[in-house]
Amino acid sequence: MLREPMTMLCYTDLSGAVRGKGFPTRLLEKRLKSGIGWTPTNLMFTALGTIADSVWSSFGDLTLMPDPETRVEVDFDDGTPAERFFLCDVENTDGTPWDCCPRTLLKDAVKALRDETGLELRATFEHEFVYAGANSRTADNYALDAVRRHGAFGETFLAALAAAGHLADSYLPEFAAGQFEVTVPPAPALAACDGAVVLREMARATAWRLGSSVSFSPRLSPEGLGSGVHIHFSLWDEAGNPVSHDASRAHGVGEKAGNFLAGIVSHMPALLAFTAPSPVSYLRLVPHAWTGIWSNIGVRDREAGIRICPTFGGSEEAMARQFNFEYRAADATANPYLALAVIIRAGLAGLRDGCAMPEPTVEEDPEAMSEEARQARGIVRLPSSVDQAFAALEADETVKSFLPKPLLAAYLANKRAEFEIGRTWTPEEICRRYAEVY
């Protein structure tokens, strides 16, 4: 069959969808310089396929400008067209950044952290997903046979990831039926977000070639367990030394890292409007489902809002380099750039104000504490619905200030339009509809 190779220029929109436009790959050199045209109102596409009211209406033009570093060219060698795409910044036609570009929001947050503190954040997004072709059986959790029965998916997915420049460091069958988890090493914030986007696309690309599908939706059914996207992070100084760890301090948390965590914890209810931004997110964020539903910092606790992760063996230096924190109340309905940008900004606010780290919980369940005890420790129940999360955002002037006004307005309008569509849906219907999208 006749074929002309094609390349897509894409960005990740407010609901985490990867959208863009293509061109014949023979024009790549030109397109790397000129980008491709885009329309402001495209930002108002909702997760559920509608277009929310747009202040831009039918007016205006933008450019999707590819970042050459993000090039993906993955040929599955099975006769199907190769995956060829770049991730882009959204620019005005004069080449200045568009104030509603999610990737630019993250770049600005990274720059603000570096300029004000000399610190760099490294992150990795730990993804869980469900593979429809898993041939799953009861009690598949961590089963060798679950990996065997899911056939070529795992190895092909890892190879596709590697070919896209992202070397996984672990892969495992998770707790839920057909659920798997993949981890990649930490990277600077922008590369980590680009990597998260590419990882999801490679999972979808692999599943599609095997005649199946994957879903990263936080919940596929109201019962059982969900899929999280845990955000691991650590702080580093300009010389490349880890600063998250200090053996002489409580729980090994360095002073600056403690300030950074304090900032995140104090704004966490509002941050959920970016990290767990959909109705289906709150079917996952329920008690005792190994997700974070309290604003606590938990030592090695998989139900903490932020987990202080373990380190494994090695010297003091090796331990300091491994030491990291895990923000658990996040999922794949979030735009990773927005999610990490607001986490960085909240951490930076904590650093700026020298906020003291709240005392971490150690083998304590906030649910089992009295309300007074929680209050004394500064632990609050995180929002338990998407409406509560957005109300917390509306009430948090600091978090609202993390976004340029037009981007905040567009985000609120877009998400509200999405929520209205599903207002009357049962939990089953919410799961079904979001599984189609994510």
Euclidean distance between the first and the last CA atom of the chain, given in angstroms as a whole number: 32
Residue 302 binds which entry of ligand GLU, Mg ion, none, with Cβ cut-offs from 5 to 8 Å by kind?
ligand GLU
Q: Are 437 and 46 in contact (CB under 8 A)?
A: no
Cβ distance to ligand GLU smaller for residue 89 or 303: 303
Task: Tell me how far apart the alpha carbons of residues 212 and 190 are, in angstroms, rounded to a whole number.
Answer: 30
Total binding residues toward ligand GLU, as defined by CB under 6 A? 10
For residue 309, the minimal CB distance to Mg ion (Å) is 12
For residue 215, the minimal CB distance to ligand GLU (Å) is 13
For residue 259, the minimal CB distance to ligand GLU (Å) is 26
For residue 193, the minimal CB distance to ligand GLU (Å) is 19
Cβ distance to ligand GLU smaller for residue 285 or 338: 285
Stretch that binds ligand GLU, among 30-38, 64-72, 131-139, 221-229 (CB under 6 A): 221-229
Task: Tell me how far apart the alpha carbons of residues 333 and 123 are, in angstroms, rounded to a whole number.
Answer: 18
Closest C-alpha among 270, 254, 266, 243 to residue 121: 243
Q: Are 336 and 327 in contact (CB under 8 A)?
A: no
- Give the count of alpha carbons within 13 A of 27, CB side only: 12
Residue 254 binds which entry of Mg ion, ligand GLU, none, with Cβ cut-offs from 5 to 8 Å by kind?
none
118-137 positions binding ligand GLU, by CB under 6 A: 128
Cβ distance to ligand GLU smaller for residue 13 or 128: 128
Cβ distance to ligand GLU smaller for residue 113 or 304: 304
Stretch that binds ligand GLU, among 224-232, 246-254, 351-359, 393-401 (CB under 6 A): 224-232
Residue 232 is inside which H or E element, if any?
strand 229-236
Dihedral of the alpha carbons of 376, 378, 381, 386, in degrees to the nearest 10: 150
Distances in Å between the Cα of 376 and the Cα atoms of 251, 279, 293, 366 are 19, 31, 18, 12
Total binding residues toward Mg ion, as defined by CB under 5 A? 1
Task: Tell me how far apart the alpha carbons of residues 50 and 53 are, in angstroms, rounded to a whole number.
Answer: 10
For residue 276, the minimal CB distance to ligand GLU (Å) is 10
Is residue 307 part of the contact set for ligand GLU (CB under 6 A)?
A: no
Task: Tell me how far apart the alpha carbons of residues 55 and 40 are, in angstroms, rounded to a whole number.
Answer: 9
Q: Site for ligand GLU (CB under 6 A): which residue of 53, 57, 290, 429?
A: 290
Residue 142 binds which entry of ligand GLU, Mg ion, none, with Cβ cut-offs from 5 to 8 Å by kind?
none
- Tokens representing 352 are 């700026």
150-189 positions binding Mg ion, by CB under 5 A: 181
Neighbours of 349 (CB within 10 A): 21
- Tokens representing 292 are 């974070």
- Tokens representing 86 are 């770049």
At residue 311, the 3 state secondary structure works out as coil
309-328 positions binding ligand GLU, by CB under 6 A: 328
Task: Tell me how far apart the alpha carbons of residues 361 and 366 are, in angstroms, rounded to a whole number.
Answer: 8
As a whole number of Å, the CA-based R_g of the chain is 21
Is residue 200 part of the contact set for ligand GLU (CB under 6 A)?
A: no
Q: Site for ligand GLU (CB under 6 A): which residue of 16, 40, 226, 254?
A: 226
Q: Are 53 and 413 in contact (CB under 8 A)?
A: yes
Determine the residue with CB nearest ligand GLU: 228
Closest C-alpha among 275, 308, 300 to residue 383: 275
For residue 345, the minimal CB distance to ligand GLU (Å) is 23
Residue 291 binds which entry of ligand GLU, Mg ion, none, with Cβ cut-offs from 5 to 8 Å by kind?
ligand GLU
Q: Site for ligand GLU (CB under 6 A): which residue of 302, 381, 400, 432?
A: 302
Task: Tell me how far apart the alpha carbons of residues 21 and 396 are, in angstroms, rounded to a whole number.
Answer: 36
Neighbours of 290 (CB within 10 A): 13
Is residue 228 part of the contact set for ligand GLU (CB under 6 A)?
A: yes
For residue 228, the minimal CB distance to ligand GLU (Å) is 3
Residues 268-287 as x/- pattern, contact with ligand GLU by CB under 6 A: ----------------x---
Q: Site for ligand GLU (CB under 6 A): which residue of 46, 291, 335, 361?
A: 291
Cβ distance to Mg ion smaller for residue 2 or 144: 144
Cβ distance to ligand GLU smaller for residue 20 or 173: 173
Footprint of ligand GLU on this chain (CB under 6 A)? 128, 225-228, 284, 290-291, 302, 328
Footprint of Mg ion on this chain (CB under 5 A)? 181
